[in-house]
Structure 1
Amino acid sequence: MGFPAFFDEAPVLRLRDRLSELLGATPDGVIAYRYADAVRLAGHSCPTVAGAWLCARAGLRALYGDDLPERGGVAVAMPEAEDAGVAGVIGQVLTLVTGAAGVGGFKGLGGRHARNDLLRYGAADATSLRLHRLDSGETVEVALDTSTVPAEPAQRVLLGLVMRGDADAAQRREFGRVWQDRVRRLLLDHADDPAVVRVRRIG
């Protein structure tokens, strides 16, 4: 596959999934998720997908520190409705990483390892993306602001040409290049930038 090279340079998220270990999918339950996995899920790479990736990383680091996060051990809540803006896309990325799923998620084995009902939309008690550690009760909220990482000036013009169907092949390629350049800068240059990803501990 011909993904941009920077996908391999993006932060890797390593988690322990006890269900994966129990069912023999991994010998020790440790799974490494890469940005390309989120792109495969979403079908595209954009600031929203990259931002959700960084928010998941920041929230898990705040909850677990240097320990491996437990996939299936975190509940996720979002203030927006699932069909509002990009909330659904963000939720899908968080499901990939944390295992937290809606009502249709895995219901567990013998009362353990359930993933269903761990992802909530329209949560009135959340002001931004909220991650809650089930074992300790610790909770953080993560807010994303991509405005401090602006697109190249040419992107607006190129986007207009693409949307109108007036872009030629070279302009479409250039649009893709500048679009992914912003994603690259988010993932590589601003992964730990508190102006882009802000974490607030609330419990």
Structure 2
Amino acid sequence: MTFPSFYDAAPRLVLRDPLSEFLGAAEGGLIHYGYADAVRLAGHSCPTVAGAYLMTVRSLERLYPDEVPERGAVAVSVREAADDGVAGVMASVATLLTGATENTGFMGIGGRFDRRNLLSFGVGIQGTMAFVRTDTGVGVQATLDSGVVPVDPAMRDLLQRLLSHAASPDEAVQFRILWQERVRRMLVDHADDPRLVGLAAWNGRSGA
């Protein structure tokens, strides 16, 4: 399996998962995540996957400034409905990193480690997604503006040619390079850009 080399340069995240520790899946429950994990989950790499990854990583860093974030202890809210646009894709990336699910996740052991009902769609927030610590109630809204990293002007024509089966092999290669170059710029050049991923405190109430 060969991924573009810039995946390794994207921000990484270390989480502590108490369930993983309890079951002996990872020493100390510590799990390391990188952008390649989100790509494996989604099956592709695009601005949506990259944006969701960045929003989740940056939000968890904000919620846990002086400690390792705890997987399974963060509730995730998505502004859009589950079947609207790319909301489901973004939520799946957030679930990967936080463990939050609607009602389909792990139901727990002896009243502990329940991952259900931590993910909600169609929530009245201003941001794209919101993240709240279940232990403290501290929350943050994350807003993604992928327009900060514009599409290469050549992409539109190349995409149309590919979709109509009119593109040459060289054009197909050029498209892939330009596509991943935009993702690279998001994850590497603009990884800390507050214009790309904006964060704001959230009190957990709709419309706040």
Instruction: Calculate the TM-score normalised by the size of structure 1.
Output: 0.97
Matched, 1:62 2:77: no
Determine if the alignment matches structure 1 residue 139 to structure 2 residue 139. yes
The residue that corresponds to 1:40 in the other structure is 40
Distance 1:93 1:202 in 2: 21
Which residue does 2:119 correspond to in 1? 119
Unpaired runs of at least 5, structure 2? 204-208
- Shifted more, 57-66 versus 191-200: the winner is 57-66
Distance 1:145 1:61 in 2: 19
Paired position in structure 2 for 1:73: 73
What letter matches 2:44 in structure 1?
Answer: H
Once residues 66 and 44 of structure 2 are traced to their aligned partners in structure 1, the CA distance between those partners, rounded to angstroms, is 30
Matches within 5 A, 1:80-91: 80-91=80-91
Report what 1:104 is aligned to: 104
User: Match of 1:28, SS?
Assistant: helix
Gaps of 5+ in 1: none
Counterpart residue number, 2:4: 4
Cα RMSD, aligned residues only: 0.8
Q: For residue 53 of structure 1, report the CA deviation from its aligned partner.
A: 0.6
- Find runs of 4+ consecutive structure 1 residues off by over 6 angstroms: none
- Identity of aligned pairs, percent? 51
Which residue matches 2:206?
none
Matching residue of 2:17: 17
The separation in 1 between residues aligned to 2:140 and 2:18, in whole angstroms, is: 23
Query: 2:126 is matched by which residue type in structure 1?
Result: T
- Residue 170 of structure 2 corresponds to 170
Superposed CA deviations along residues 140-177 of structure 1, whole A, max 9, x for unmatched, are 10000010111222111111111211112111111000
Cα distance in 2 for residues equivalent to 1:145 and 1:10: 18
- Secondary structure at 2:28's aligned position in 1? coil
Encode CA deviations 1:116-160: one digit per residue, 9 max, x unaligned.
110111123x22211010001101100000101112221111111
In the alignment, residue 78 of structure 1 is paired with which amino acid? V
State the distance in 2 between where 1:140 and 1:173 align. 39
What residue identity is the alignment partner of 2:180?
Q
Deviation at 1:14, TM superposition (A): 0.8
Distance 2:28 2:176 in 1: 39
Q: Which residue of 2 aligns with 1:188?
A: 188
Contact kept? 2:81, 2:122, Cα under 8 Å: yes
Q: Normalised by the size of structure 2, how large is the TM-score? A: 0.95
